[in-house]
Amino acid sequence: MVHFKQKRSAAFVGLALAALQPALAQEAAPKAPEGIKQVNVVGERQVNRIDRQVYDVKNDVNASNGSAADALNNVPSVAVDADGTVSLRGNTNVQILVDGKPSAMLQGDNKGPALQAMPAEDIDSVEVINNPGAEFGNEGGGGPILNLVMKRNRKPGGYGVVNTNLGTAGRYNSAVNGAYNTGRWGIQGGVNVRHDGRNSTGDTERDRIDPVTGADQHSSQVSTSSGLNDSAGLRGQLTYNLTDVDSIEASIGAMKRTNDQSGLDHYKVFDEDGNPTSDYTRTTQRTGDNTNTMWGARWDHKGDKLGELFKMDLRVSTSDNGNDTRYANTYIVTPPGPVDADSLQAVANRTRIVDYSGDYERPLDSGATFKMGYRLFDNESGFDNRYYDGAGVPNARLTNAFSVDERDAALYSSWQWQVNPRWGALVGLRAEYTHMDLDQVTTGTTVSNTYLNWIPSAFATYKLSDTANLRFAYARRIRRPNASDLNPFVVYKDELNESAGNPHLKPVLTDSFE
């Protein structure tokens, strides 16, 4: 039995010092020929689609000051805690996508810090997909999806925005964003910086029952820590209209984060009679840095039929994460077995994602909409975990290197139609082929996994009234094991915490109804 009690605190009071939005080069709209009246068509974004809900962020007055984590916190049913952990209706198994695609910046332990560093002003809307269908496949990771739709401003002329915010304890953030569009060309981009800190406390109580003797072993861990985070990022996007129906787009982005953290942990272990067998404190000093880069290219083609669209999208993103952690133990009661009074752990992780996809959508004369697409995906991840004792000698028992290369190929198709004025339906099917190569460098273990999965989905909506709908959803979800699930090497965090994976794990398939 394990009991956890944890507290996270972070105070930030934002003060907008400057917000300038000049029309830098606003072009006058061309005059309509005489005899023809000029017509402006204004439409609202559809906020409820058959398989998702869409929430506009661009009109949120807090977007100019906050981070992506702040924007998500304003979305109904979504919560982001002080560490950046995202939950949807209490479920933390949430995948974050950017324009429908995964990004190395938002994978694994990077997700929380990246959301806290990403400016909310870059986001146009958030799509909440509780039960992802065939269109998304494994992007759902077995759980719901939050899709961040980024801004693609193409208004004639230009604008610039400068925001600066100050908070308690020396916290601040600032961003400069702008765009300029003329003729067939459009460019937009921005830079941002952020400085803040996090304090945390935690209590853990464990009771272990020996399966042979039935003896009980009680342990406790009391933790306090404080951290300081700095980040800086930039992004840019260039768009060109080749013709009235074809456009191309190129985008780049980069983000740099540093993290300094200090902590104190007090460990106690007791035998079944309540006598301490181990009692010591551990001080931790951690320095870390993370560098994320991305670039992408996109082609959109509008067909002859209204609403007909074909698009191809290529995204490449990388994430390099490294940190050094120094531990110093002070023993009141020394535990049995070998101990290290002082040690150093050096971790270096790298992820590279290449995602190439194509989608075709066509409305039919019957009122239905047909959609199909493909996806080619490659995710290379490398992990190097080195452990040294106080004399700087490598500890072979705690040191390992591991790499995973996952390659996916997928095809999907969906059909959406309005059955009658009250009923709407959407059905889809996706086929996904996966090949994984795993290399546990330290032990010389290499494993390959290959499998094919079929992923059906079905959605229906029923209009109760002009203000109320019922939504029904079914989807088969696939959740693949992550790198830590697959690494067979025993990874030690401390004397009380260790983990090991299984390289032969297959994905988990679930049938989800809502």
Dump pLDDT digits (tens) for 437-475: 999 999 999 999 999 999 999 999 999 998 888 989 999
Contact at 8 Å (CB) between 500 and 484? no
> In one letter, which amino acid is 73?
N
Candidates 449, 430, 431; CA nearest to 439 is: 449
Is residue 147 classed as helix, strand or coil in its secondary structure? strand
Candidate ranges 208-212, 359-363, 476-480; pick with highest mean pLDDT? 359-363
Dist CA 259 CA 269 (whole Å): 31
| 292 inside domain | yes
Q: How many residues does the chain have?
A: 514
pLDDT of residue 296: 93
Average pLDDT over residues 179-205: 87
Contact at 8 Å (CB) between 459 and 473? yes
pLDDT of residue 291: 95
pLDDT class of 366 with cuts at 50, 70, 90? confident
Left if phi > 0, otherwise alpha if psi is -120 to 50, otherwise beta: which for 17? alpha
Name which of 121-125, 303-307, 459-463 the model is least confident about: 121-125
pLDDT of residue 30: 44
pLDDT top residue among 407 and 138: 407
For the cut 70, the answer to whether the pLDDT of residue 496 exceeds it is no
pLDDT of residue 105: 65
Tokens of 497: 């915490």
pLDDT of residue 139: 57
CA distances (Å), origin 198, targets 7, 67, 81, 201, 217: 11, 15, 11, 10, 33
| 189 inside domain | yes
Summarised one tens digit per residue, pLDDT across range 36-92 is 444 444 434 445 578 888 888 877 756 666 788 888 988 988 988 866 788 888 888
Summarised one tens digit per residue, pLDDT across range 306-322 is 889 999 999 999 999 99
Dist CA 331 CA 145 (whole Å): 46
| 109 inside domain | no
Q: What is the mean pLDDT of the chain?
A: 83
Average pLDDT over residues 93-105: 78
| 91 inside domain | no
pLDDT of residue 308: 93
Dist CA 372 CA 61 (whole Å): 37
How far is the first Cα of the chain from the last one, in angstroms, to the nearest whole number? 32
The pLDDT > 70 percentage for the chain reads 84
Domain with 300, as residue range(s), is 157-513
For the cut 50, the answer to whether the pLDDT of residue 138 exceeds it is yes
pLDDT of residue 359: 94
pLDDT class of 104 with cuts at 50, 70, 90? low
Summarised one tens digit per residue, pLDDT across range 251-272 is 999 999 999 999 999 999 998 8
| 23 inside domain | no
pLDDT of residue 154: 60
Backbone angles phi, psi at 43, to 5 degrees: -130, 150
Name which of 5-19, 134-148, 339-353, 406-420 the model is least confident about: 5-19
What total of structural domains would you count in the chain? 1
Name which of 56-70, 226-240, 281-295, 376-390 the model is least confident about: 56-70
Angle at 475 between CA 314 and CA 306, to 5 degrees: 55
Name which of 7-16, 91-100, 171-180, 293-302 the model is least confident about: 7-16
Contact at 8 Å (CB) between 173 and 165? yes
Residue 119 has, within 13 A of its CA and on its CB side, a CA count of 32
| 126 inside domain | no
pLDDT of residue 353: 94
**Which residue stretches of 21-124 are H helix?**
68-73, 111-117
Candidate ranges 122-126, 379-383, 394-398; pick with highest mean pLDDT? 379-383
Contact at 8 Å (CB) between 72 and 126? yes
The residue with tokens 């401390």 is 494
| 60 inside domain | no
Name which of 36-45, 157-166, 172-181, 190-199 the model is least confident about: 36-45
pLDDT top residue among 183 and 59: 183
Angle at 480 between CA 476 and CA 486, to 5 degrees: 160
Q: What is the pTM of this model?
A: 0.75
Strands, E, within 69-122: which ranges? 78-80, 86-88, 95-98
| 365 inside domain | yes
Contact at 8 Å (CB) between 384 and 435? no
Which stretch of DSSP H or E encloses residue 484?
helix 483-486
Contact at 8 Å (CB) between 96 and 148? yes
